[in-house]
Amino acid sequence: MQREFHMGLPAGQSEQVHVTFTLISATQTGVELVHSNWEGCGAMAEMMRNGYGKSWEMPFEEAPRGACQG
């Protein structure tokens, strides 16, 4: 699934986020996330890209880990 991503920007200035989930075993799922089309942010592209840092860790690592710990 691929969606436009324009957090705080007009839809015409969107990045793309592509997330793939792959079944590894009965208890494990692999997640691949590709965040692209930074040029859609125009003059803010470099600042936006640098600003994300490790931002994707929370929804794809920290939150699931916390949920699985009960």
For position 4, what pLDDT does the model report?
62
Q: pLDDT tens across 23-65, in order? A: 999 988 888 888 888 888 888 888 888 877 677 777 777 767 6
Helix (H) or strand (E) holding 29: strand 28-36
What is the rounded CA–CA span in Å between residue 5 and residue 2?
9
pLDDT at 68 > cutoff 80? no
Residue 33 sits in which domain range? Answer: 2-68
Q: pLDDT tens across 54-63, in order? A: 777 777 777 6
pLDDT at 22 > cutoff 80? yes
Query: At residue 42, what are phi and psi to the nearest 5 degrees?
Result: 60, -135
Q: How many structural domains comprise the chain?
A: 1
Q: Closest Cα partner for 36 from 56, 58, 59, 61?
A: 56
